[in-house]
Structure formats: structure tokens, C-alpha cells
């Protein structure tokens, strides 16, 4: 792992803490993983994750939404940026030695064509890293668990549906389901692990409510964090530290990280 990098600070000083915490945990995984060029980032968004996580520009960032791509251009995290849906990646067959898709695939209702096209543009032997929330996510939402404990099961179901709506979750599937999709695309799963415990999820979940000032700042100033100084984050770091320092993997973790490979001929 790259020494002396404070990925937590680099993320929460730019993002609402619940997003920054999860991105920091995921970014830490990549510090120990090879990422051979050229690399595709499928669902690159505003480029914040790639800019912080990787020490070099990635070759191509693809996303369907124009507004985040404009920000990604300013960040200069990619050599080339393209507006495109994932089932039509603008690249020839067998182009990329590696690809990533960080917390993206769970948002795509018809995800199989996206995986199929990703496999098309990946070179034989190429590596694909992706991570998604899994089947443990909804059952461990703390507010829904509270409603269940006091017998309000209908309200618990409604809360889970509402939270998935605001999080834009189209899939919260177990690893076996994702493995079947990956294999249907012609890739194989080399390894996968669960991460981010139910206790960490509670910190993330409540951050959606405590993060309201960050949303207001984004609307008013076009930035999530107005005063990114260490003194301003003392309480935030105290809140998120248990999730940041918990060991990984977490067997009952609410997210899963996959390492996949396109077989050689």
C-alpha cells in the first residue's frame, strides 16, 4: 500500500462524509491492486474517485451524464472522457488491459448488456475490478431495524424502499448473482470479498441526514465542503473512524468487491 496517504481525509475534505468514507475504504483496496494501462473507468462520474485513488491519469472515463463529465474534465483524471451509456462503450474490441467500475453497476437496471460490452473492450487476460452494495445492505439499515423491533414491519419496508430510491439502487444482489452475470459476459471471478460492516452502514446511513449542510453548500457554492480544514473535521473524523479502521474483509459486510478476468484464448 502507498505509504503516508490519508485517503480518508482526501475524500471527506471534498465530499459529504458518508460518501467520502465509503470511497476512502474502497480506494484503499486499489492501493494494493495492479492496474495495467490502458484502463477504462466505467461510470466515471465527476472523476473525483479516480483523481484521488490512482497516481496516474486513466486512459478513458465513460459516463452517461454530462454535468459530472464537465467536472471530470476539469479534474484531468483521464486522458479521454466520453459521454456514453455502458452498453455502447466507444472503444474497439480488446482495447483495455484493465477496467474499473466503482459503485456504479448497482444503479443500472439492465446491467447485463453493460457487462457484455465491458467484456468486449477488455483484452484477453485483462482485469476488471468492480464493487457494489449487496444483499446485506437493506436488512441492516438501522432505521428499518428499529421499526421492525417495535413491530412496525410495514414502515420498515417503506423506509427501505425510500432509502433505495434516494440511493438509486436497482440491484442489491448476493455475490453468486453477480458472479452469474459476470460469467454470462464471458469473464470469470478471480476473487471477491465483502466489506463495510452493518455498524459502518449505520454511520453511512445517518450521514445522509447529518450531511444536509453539505448539500446546501453544493447548491450555493458548487462545492460540498466550504471549509476543508482539519479543525473543521475533528468531530467528523471521530464519527467515521470506527468504520475507517475496522478490518477488511467483513464476512457480513454490506458491499462486495470483485476481481474479474477475461480468459485468454
CATH number of the structural domain spanning residue 126: 3.40.50.150
Give the Cα-Cα-Cα angle 231, 203, 173 (nearest 5 degrees): 140
Its pTM stands at 0.92
> What whole-number distance in Å separates Cα of residue 106 and Cα of residue 138?
13
Does the residue 2 lie in any domain? no
- What is the domain extent for residue 246? 7-261
Does the residue 33 lie in any domain? yes
* The pLDDT of residue 162: 96
Are residues 122 and 128 in contact, defined by beta-carbon separation less than 8 angstroms?
yes
* The pLDDT of residue 245: 95
pLDDT in tens, the chain (265 residues): 444 679 999 998 888 888 999 999 999 999 999 999 999 999 999 999 999 999 999 999 999 999 999 999 999 999 999 999 999 999 999 999 999 999 999 999 999 999 999 999 999 999 999 999 999 999 999 999 999 999 999 999 999 999 999 999 999 999 999 999 999 999 999 999 999 999 999 999 998 777 666 555 556 556 556 666 777 778 888 999 999 999 999 999 999 999 999 999 8
Does the residue 1 lie in any domain? no
Does the residue 154 lie in any domain? yes
* The pLDDT of residue 223: 59
* The pLDDT of residue 229: 75
* The pLDDT of residue 222: 62
Residue 63 has phi, psi (to 5 degrees) of -160, 150
Does the residue 63 lie in any domain? yes
* 3-state SS, residue 250: coil
* The pLDDT of residue 2: 42
Q: How many domains does the chain have?
A: 1
Are residues 12 and 240 in contact, defined by beta-carbon separation less than 8 angstroms?
yes
Does the residue 139 lie in any domain? yes
Does the residue 216 lie in any domain? yes
Q: CB burial class (10 A; 0-12, 13-18, 19+) of residue 259?
A: middle
Does the residue 165 lie in any domain? yes
Amino acid at each position: 500500500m502507498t505509504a503516508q496517504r490519508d485517503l480518508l481525509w482526501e475524500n471527506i475534505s471534498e465530499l459529504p462524509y458518508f460518501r467520502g468514507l465509503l470511497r476512502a475504504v474502497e480506494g484503499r483496496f486499489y492501493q494494493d491492486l495492479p492496474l495495467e494501462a490502458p484502463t477504462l473507468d466505467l461510470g466515471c462520474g465527476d472523476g473525483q474517485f479516480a483523481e484521488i485513488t490512482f497516481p496516474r491519469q486513466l486512459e478513458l472515463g465513460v459516463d452517461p451524464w454530462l454535468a459530472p463529465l464537465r467536472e471530470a474534465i476539469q479534474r484531468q483524471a483521464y486522458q479521454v472522457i466520453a459521454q456514453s451509456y455502458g452498453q455502447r462503450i466507444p472503444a474497439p474490441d480488446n482495447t483495455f488491459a484493465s477496467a474499473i467500475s466503482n459503485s456504479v453497476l448497482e444503479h443500472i437496471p439492465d446491467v447485463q448488456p453493460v457487462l457484455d460490452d465491458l467484456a468486449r473492450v477488455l483484452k484477453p487476460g485483462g482485469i476488471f475490478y468492480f464493487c457494489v452494495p449487496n444483499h446485506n445492505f437493506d436488512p441492516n439499515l438501522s432505521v428499518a431495524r428499529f421499526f421492525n423491533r417495535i413491530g412496525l414491519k410495514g414502515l420498515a419496508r417503506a423506509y427501505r424502499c425510500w432509502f433505495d430510491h434516494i440511493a438509486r439502487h436497482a440491484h442489491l444482489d448476493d455475490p453468486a448473482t453477480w458472479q452469474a452475470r459476470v460469467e454470462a459476459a464471458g469473464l470469470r471471478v478471480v476473487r471477491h470479498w465483502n466489506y463495510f460492516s452493518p455498524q459502518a452502514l449505520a454511520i453511512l446511513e445517518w450521514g445522509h441526514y447529518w450531511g444536509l449542510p453539505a448539500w446546501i453548500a453544493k447548491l450555493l457554492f458548487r462545492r460540498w465542503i466550504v471549509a476543508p480544514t482539519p479543525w473543521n473535521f475533528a468531530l467528523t473524523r471521530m464519527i467515521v473512524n470506527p468504520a475507517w479502521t475496522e478490518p477488511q474483509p467483513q464476512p457480513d459486510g454490506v458491499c462486495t468487491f470483485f476481481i474479474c478476468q477475461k480468459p485468454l484464448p
